[in-house]
Structure 1
């Protein structure tokens, strides 16, 4: 017995007439009658009583109708779920973000737009540094990741550039430049103690080092007590700034994070660093959900940049 036989049976039961059921199904009446008789032979029960003007269900037919409808409903639901999954409208998506990425409106805006358009996709977000996200992508622990690095040499990943965000300098509110109104040239900070966010190889660390070298100085990288300190998270970075332990270059969107004791000031466009924001996926990932999310982020990025 096939699913089409169940559909034939349900149509006859609902119409109470084989000819009308045949018209509804787009079949001829004789073949439909033969299919119903074949079902009765296979089940070894009488499903319908034949009447002068149609048919009516037997007790066995009524019991079979309930289960047949349930089976067809479950199959229809399974088929629709499969179609939704193939279109990327259903499934699961694990999104990696750096601790600084959500402060740029592109990230929450694109995630929210995707969620609203695809309510049957279960979203989870995980926060970690860019280099950690790349490792998790390769280990299939993340599906997509907003990263602050170009991921050079990662041939197994597909990195979509989204934007390059100007960086500002975070200063202790007691700093001599805290009240500066004009953008500050980066070279004026050559004698300052820098607090760098993340280890070497992460986007903001590398961008800051490259910009400082371009401005003619090379901040030393060391532990507490050296001229440059490392902070594992952006909150600890700003806490160290607030404590007067140094200054830090951060994405301009971080100005949304207000912290007592921290002042943000613009850097001169001539030598200021930029924080990249990219979207990374596995090059071999053919998931329709991932592709749908990437398309949504690209649309949101065009709106933000435009």
Structure 2
């Protein structure tokens, strides 16, 4: 038995007239009669009580009609879901991000914009270690990654810059340079350093000051980094977005003297992405100009 048999039977059951049902279906009455007979043979049950003047449902026919309608409804729903999924209106997107993407607000703004346009797509976002994100995206465990550049990326990934920041210096409030307008890299030569996941700023401070930074801790997570700064474990070179979003006791933020050291937040995703919902988010990200 095929789905068309359900449609034929429902038409006859609703019209209770073979000619009208056949016209509704766009087939010949004789063809419809044969199809209904096929259904009854397959079920080994009489579904319709036919006389020369009327057509009625048997008890079996009434029960079968209920299930046939439900089956057609489920089929139509499945077709609708498939079509919507094919357009990217349904689905699930797994997002991985580094903490500074949330602190900078770029993660929230992009997710909020996407939800406005595609409200039925499920977004699942989790903070991930930055070093693991490229592999997670390349292997399909994460669909979109929000990372801080520069970092090495597999060839199968694309990258799009979403925001540019500057690095600044986080100091204990009691630090000798806490009152300075800006911190010269050379002045930090004798300091201990607490390093976040993106160590570009730390390396650049060392290069400018012509010294090798003495790293005493590398917890990665920015909140942990700044907590250790507040506990006077060392100084840290961090993106300046944290100066207004992570205000901790006994931590002060100072700009780095000289030419700004820039840091970029970017989205990474697979070049060969095939999931329609993910492709919709990628199109949104690629269309966004760097902030």
Q: Any conservation in 2 of the 1:186–1:272 contact (CA below 8 Å)?
A: no
Relative to structure 2, which stretch is displaced further, 110-119 or 158-167?
A: 110-119
The two structures, once aligned, show a CA RMSD in angstroms of 2.8
Q: Which residue number in structure 1 is paired with residue 193 of structure 2? A: 195
Alignment of 1:91-240 (within 5 A): 91-152=91-152, 154-180=154-180, 184=182, 186-187=184-185, 189-191=187-189, 193=191, 195-198=193-196, 204-210=198-204, 212-213=206-207, 215-223=208-216, 229-240=217-228
Q: State the SS of the aligned residue for 2:165.
A: strand
Asked if the contact 2:47–2:58 (Cα under 8 Å) also holds between the matched residues in 1, the reply is yes
1:283 aligned residue: 271
Query: Aligned residue for 1:74?
Result: 74
| Superposition deviation, residue 107 in structure 1 | 0.4
Question: Residues 216 and 191 of structure 1: is their aligned pair in 2 closer, same or farther, counting only changes over 3 Å?
Answer: closer
Unaligned runs of 5+ in 1: 224-228
Distance 1:32 1:195 in 2: 83
What is the rounded CA distance, in whole Å, between the counterparts of 2:117 and 2:54 in structure 1?
Answer: 47
Q: Match of 2:159, SS?
A: strand
* Matched-pair contact (CA < 8 Å) for 1:87–1:288: yes
Alpha-carbon distance in 2 for matches of 1:13, 1:105 = 59
Q: How many residues align?
A: 290
Which blocks of at least 5 consecutive residues in structure 2 are unaligned?
A: none
Alpha carbons of 1:45 and 1:212: their partners in 2 closer, same or farther (altered >3 Å)? same
Rounded to whole Å, the distance in 1 between the matches of 2:179 and 2:85 is 55
Contact 2:90 2:120 in 1 (8 A): yes
Report what 1:260 is aligned to: 249
Q: Which of these residues, 242, 249, 269, is aligned with residue 237 of structure 2?
A: 249
CA–CA distance in structure 2, aligned partners of residues 17 and 267 of structure 1: 86
1:274 Cα deviation after fit: 1.9
Cα distance in 2 for partners of 1:23, 1:171 equals 83
Q: Is the 8 A contact 1:209 1:218 kept in 2?
A: no
Q: State the 1:61 CA deviation.
A: 1.0
Q: Distance in 2 between matches of 1:177 and 1:21?
A: 89
TM-score w.r.t. length of structure 1: 0.81
SS where residue 12 of structure 1 aligns? Answer: helix
Cα contact 2:177–2:183 (8 A) shared by 1: no
Q: Deviations over 1:177-226 (max 9, x none)?
A: 4344x5x264364436253434xxx5x2024313542x353442433xxx
Aligned counterparts, 1:10-21, within 5 A: 10-21=10-21
Deviation at 1:98, TM superposition (A): 0.9
Alignment deviations for residues 27-63 of structure 1 (CA, whole Å, 9 cap, x no partner): 4444333322332333333322335665321112111
Q: Deviations over 1:238-264 (max 9, x none)?
A: 012212333222222212111111122
CA distance in 2, matches of 1:100, 1:210: 19
Distance verdict in 2 for CA 1:211–1:15, change over 3 Å: farther
The CA deviation at 1:125 is 2.4
Alpha-carbon distance in structure 1 between the residues aligned to 2:266 and 2:220? 20
Q: Give the SS at the match of 1:39.
A: helix
Runs of 4 or more, structure 1, over 6 Å off, are none
